[in-house]
């Protein structure tokens, strides 16, 4: 909005210029000017008193108009943002910031310790705490004095759990012989320790401490040196990042197997710095598996590339690819040309070269065609177009049959800043209706009934078309209504979750590792972090010990099959 008026214009000319720019009548303009003057006067008075924050003056009801309400709401929102930024500046300067202390839930109804009988936790069956313990040593202790004639009645067992940390260094003396022919023969080291100076148990311990216990590399070096291991920081880094091909291969199988046995996946991403540059880590998974990949981008092309990991053909032009391009409004001329072409390309450089040969040079056209070709490749590999992807409404995940998280949808309303009691009531009513629909959807998942599905859709449409006195709330409900298909996918697929909490939980462990250890410095280090985050989370989903998994793989022990087989078995039994 631009007001074209000169300083030397008359009062009438200035008023006319304001009317042309704002489309307001004279009365509303005068009210705004009066309010603006009051605000400036209040701010000047307060600042002259060295007050840290100005306060808005009281505004009479007769001065309140929809435009004034919107302006006041904007001011309140801006003040909240200013306060948050001020705290962030203090944090960056290393100064004390205002702590975020969550309210206690101890006094709430149903909280632990309250008198509400429904809040009491149900006790499970009692289990033997020490019945399954392995006994490594048995000592018999006799009484100090045994009177003559006493009769032995047996033993009372007391099991004391302890742990021993100590090195176990082995010297292998390789016998050397010279044959009658003059050839030298030498004894060979065991296969599992050839080519190294450290045993597999120690390597398993290092990987467990670093990837599972989040011990930083300097502390881990200090820890194992304190235990008596003579190791350099360079060798420790090598163990953590190199010679891990078997683990990387098993991680790659997680995604291929998980996609082949699943009807849906959860996905989300988070920040992941690498070599001093900001990047992103994408999570893909469900109840059967977890898979992480760190890259420099969070685009839709990157997400489709993540889904294509391990595939033989990435870029494919087929019917599914053409449909995707048409839905995303690719140029009709280019679309008509591509309809008669069949292409299967394996690498990104070859694909870019092919695009150049076809004369597809505009960034938007290249983007849509590349996304479509990646979609075609996934469809060609067996992923159904009806495959569901659950996310938090980030645009890069909106492919295949997309479903939205209800928790993230509700946050848009929960974050609104009401200006008065009527606004507060409107927000509370909208949230109550929203959660009522959510609980009915949970019940519908357990017992899908067609009539109930129609009722839920109708109630959702009524909620999203509601008009209140709070314009920002109306806009939020309108945006939610546009996402009706994605929010109500569970009505057509009752097996879909209603939220994306699984992805949030899975990715939280990665965020914890990032906060403790910072960014990765080498490509091998980044790959190792993604691999072990994926393997560890997948083990946890199936109730498997990650320590047992590491020992099984490094010491070639039986008992834990390949994780891809574990995923297939769980999917078959589920």
In this structure, the answer to whether residues 318 and 229 fall within a common structural domain is no
In contact, 246 and 553? CB cutoff 8 Å: yes
Domain that holds residue 345: 266-401
Last residue of a domain, one of 368, 401, 434: 401
Q: Give yes or no: residues 393 and 433 share one domain.
A: no
Hunting for tokens 């009479």 — which residue is that?
Answer: 60
Q: What is the pLDDT of residue 50?
A: 40
Total Cβ atoms within 10 A of residue 561:
11
Look at strands 264-271 and 388-391 and give their pairing: parallel
Contact 206, 221 (CB under 8 A): no
Residues 361 and 483 in one domain: no
Q: In 358-422, at which residue ranges do the beta strands (DSSP E only) sit?
A: 388-391, 401-404
pLDDT for 47: 40
Residues 467 and 530 in one domain: no
**Does residue 487 contact residue 460 with C-beta atoms inside 8 Å?**
yes
Report yes or no: 244 and 526 within 8 Å, Cβ to Cβ.
no
Averaged pLDDT of the chain: 84
Residue 222, number of CB atoms within 10 A of its CB: 12
Q: Is 165 exposed, middle or buried (0-12, 13-18, 19+ CB in 10 A)?
A: exposed
Q: What is the pLDDT of residues 384-425, one digit of tens each?
A: 888 999 999 888 999 999 999 999 998 888 888 888 889 999
373 lies in a domain?
A: yes
Helix (H) or strand (E) holding 566, with range, is helix 563-573
In this structure, is residue 124 part of a structural domain? no
Give the span between the Cα atoms of 295 and 511, in whole angstroms: 15
The answer to whether residues 425 and 445 belong to one domain is: yes
Residue where one domain finishes, among candidates 367, 401, 435: 401
Q: Which residues contact 239 (CB under 8 A, 6 or more apart)?
A: 198, 203, 206, 207
Same domain, 221 and 279: no
- Nearest 5°: the CA angle 430, 433, 437 is 140
Position 13 in a domain: no
In a domain, 367, yes or no: yes
Find all residues with CB under 8 Å of 93, minimum gap 6, and list them.
none
Count CB neighbours of 470 within 10 A: 23
Confidence (pTM): 0.74
Chosen domain end from 353, 380, 401: 401
Q: Answer yes or no: is 241 within a domain.
A: yes
Same domain, 412 and 396: no
Share of the chain above pLDDT 90, in %: 52
| Residue-wise DSSP of 424-474 | HHHHHHHHHHHHHHHHHHHHHHHS--HHHHHHHHHHHHHHHT---S-HHHH
Which structure tokens are listed for 96? 């004390």
The verdict on 432 and 334 lying in the same domain is: no
Are 262 and 286 contacting, i.e. CB atoms less than 8 angstroms apart?
yes
Report yes or no on 121 lying in a domain: no
In a shared domain, residues 289 and 395:
yes
Angle at which helices 26-48 and 66-92 pack, to 10 degrees? 30
In sequence order, the β-bridge partners of residue 271 are 280
Residue 91 in domain = no
CB 130 within 8 A of CB 159: yes
User: Is 299 found in the same domain as 345?
Assistant: yes
Asked whether the beta carbons of 292 and 534 are under 8 A apart, the reply is yes
* Contact assessment for residue 224 and residue 216, using Cβ atoms and an 8 Å cutoff: no
Question: What pLDDT digit, counting tens, does each position of 516-544 carry?
Answer: 888 899 999 999 999 999 999 999 999 99
Q: Are residues 278 and 347 in the same domain?
A: yes
List CB contacts of 68: < 8 A, sequence separation 6 or more: 31, 32, 35, 59
Cα–Cα nearest to 29, from 15, 41, 39, 42: 15
Same domain (yes/no): 277, 386: yes
Please give the full DSSP string across 46-95, using - where no structure is assigned.
Answer: HHHTT-SS--PPP--GGG--HHHHHHHHHHHHHHHHHHHHHHHHHHHTT-
Count of domains for the chain: 3
- Per-residue pLDDT, 10: 59
Counting as low any pLDDT under 70, the low residues of the chain are 1-57, 93-131, 194-195, 310-313
Q: Identify the residue whose tokens are 């938090």.
A: 392
Name 368's Cβ contacts closer than 8 Å, sequence gap at least 6: 325, 328, 329, 330
In a domain, 186, yes or no: no
SS3 content of the chain, % helix, strand, coil (to 5): 50, 5, 40
CA distance 436 to 434: 5
CB 294 within 8 A of CB 345: no
């Amino acid at each position: 909005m631009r007001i074209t008026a000169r300083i030397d214009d008359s009062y009438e000319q200035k008023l006319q210029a304001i009317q042309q720019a704002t489309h307001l009548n004279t009365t509303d303009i005068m009210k705004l000017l009066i309010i603006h003057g009051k605000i400036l006067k209040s701010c000047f008075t307060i600042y002259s008193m060295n007050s840290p924050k100005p306060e808005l003056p009281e505004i009479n009801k007769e001065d309140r108009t929809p435009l004034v309400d919107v302006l006041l709401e904007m001011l309140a929102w801006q003040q909240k943002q200013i306060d948050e930024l001020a705290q962030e500046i203090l944090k960056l300067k290393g100064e004390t910031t205002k702590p975020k202390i969550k309210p206690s839930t101890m006094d709430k109804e149903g909280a632990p310790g309250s008198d509400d009988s429904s809040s009491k936790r149900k006790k499970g069956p009692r289990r033997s705490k020490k019945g399954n313990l392995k006994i490594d040593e048995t000592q018999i202790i006799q009484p100090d004095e045994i009177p003559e004639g006493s009769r032995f009645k047996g033993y009372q067992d007391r099991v004391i759990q302890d742990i021993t940390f100590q090195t176990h260094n082995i010297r292998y003396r390789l016998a050397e012989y010279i044959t009658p022919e003059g050839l030298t023969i030498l004894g060979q080291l065991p296969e599992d320790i050839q080519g190294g100076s450290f045993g597999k148990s120690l390597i398993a311990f290092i990987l467990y401490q670093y990837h599972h216990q989040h011990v930083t590399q300097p502390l881990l070096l200090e820890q194992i040196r304190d235990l008596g291991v003579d190791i350099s920081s360079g060798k420790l880094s090598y163990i953590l990042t190199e010679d891990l091909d078997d683990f990387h291969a098993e991680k790659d199988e997680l995604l291929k197997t998980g996609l082949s046995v699943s009807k849906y996946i959860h996905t989300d991403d988070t920040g992941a710095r690498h070599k001093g540059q900001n990047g992103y880590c994408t999570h893909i998974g469900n109840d059967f598996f977890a898979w992480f990949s760190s890259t420099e981008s969070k685009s839709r092309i990157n997400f489709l590339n993540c889904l294509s990991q391990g595939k033989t053909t990435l870029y494919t032009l087929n019917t599914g690819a053409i449909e995707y391009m048409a839905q995303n409004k690719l140029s009709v001329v280019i679309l008509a040309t591509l309809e008669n072409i069949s292409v299967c390309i394996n690498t990104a450089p070859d694909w870019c070269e092919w695009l150049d040969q076809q004369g597809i040079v505009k960034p938007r056209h290249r983007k849509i065609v590349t996304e479509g070709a990646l979609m075609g490749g996934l469809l060609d590999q067996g992923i159904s177009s009806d495959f569901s992807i659950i996310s938090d409404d980030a645009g890069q995940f909106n492919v295949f049959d997309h479903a939205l998280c209800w928790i993230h949808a509700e946050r848009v309303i929960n974050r609104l800043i009401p200006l008065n009691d009527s606004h507060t009531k409107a927000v509370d009513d909208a949230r109550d209706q929203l959660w009522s629909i959510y609980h009915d959807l949970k019940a519908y998942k357990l017992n899908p009934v067609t009539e109930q599905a129609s009722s839920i859709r109708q109630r959702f449409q009524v909620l999203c078309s509601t008009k209140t006195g709070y314009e920002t709330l109306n806009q939020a409900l309108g945006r939610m209504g546009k996402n009706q298909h994605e929010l109500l996918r569970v009505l057509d697929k009752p097996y879909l979750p209603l939220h994306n909490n699984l992805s949030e939980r899975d990715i939280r462990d990665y965020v914890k590792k990032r906060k403790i250890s910072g960014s990765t410095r080498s490509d091998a280090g980044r790959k190792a972090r993604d691999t072990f985050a994926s393997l560890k989370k997948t083990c946890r989903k199936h109730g498997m010990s990650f320590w047992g998994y590491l020992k099984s793989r490094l010491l070639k022990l039986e008992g834990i099959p390949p994780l891809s087989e574990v995923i297939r078995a769980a999917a078959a039994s589920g």
